[in-house]
Structure 1
Amino acid sequence: MVLFLKEDNEIYAYNKRLKKEDIEKYQDAIWYEGDFDFLDGKDKEGYAKLYRWNGEKPILEYIPTPEPEPTIDEKIYEAVIKSQDEIRQEGADMVMEEMKKRGLIV
């Protein structure tokens, strides 16, 4: 089987049909006598699987998955909610200040 590697030895593809003598055309290809599939290994919540070539065989590493980027709708919603909270607080502050001036609260 043929494994295709990035510069940092990350396996990004494989081909089970190419013959060993045909991989000379590909600079990023290596021959591996074993079996490999990206479905190998258990999934871990919060982590992505990363396969690397260690010189002898593929090894599985787990890397933390980045937090998903909020959508534009989520960003707008958060800004609107935040603005409403700020407006409410400003209103409450003005009412409290007026009540203090009138001596209704200390």
Structure 2
Amino acid sequence: MEKQTAKDDYGRVINDLQLLREDLASLTKAVAEGQRSSANNLKDEINREAHAVFDNLRKRGDAALTRATEAGSQTVENVEHKIEERPFLSIILMFLAGIIVGKMLDR
């Protein structure tokens, strides 16, 4: 009788160990999937943030380029207007500027 009880206990321990292995394997698999899912979620969030920052940067760059283009156009218009007002003076100033730049480049 005691031999039978010991065999039954041994069989139950073996069975419990097998169930424990299966549970541990399932737990390990669930944790690994959870980590992969968390990593994928983090990757997606980083991508969204990066795109948002890039879009914001692009908008700011476009706005700065537009302002610079407008300022450049306004400056060109002002210079053209000044040249139209005093063409002879403008020619003399350009001639002098050319002489000065030429002397600087000779050195």
The TM tier, using the shorter chain, reads: 0.3 to 0.5
TM-score using structure 2 length: 0.33
Bigger radius of gyration, 1 or 2?
2
The structure whose residues are more often strand, as a share, is 1
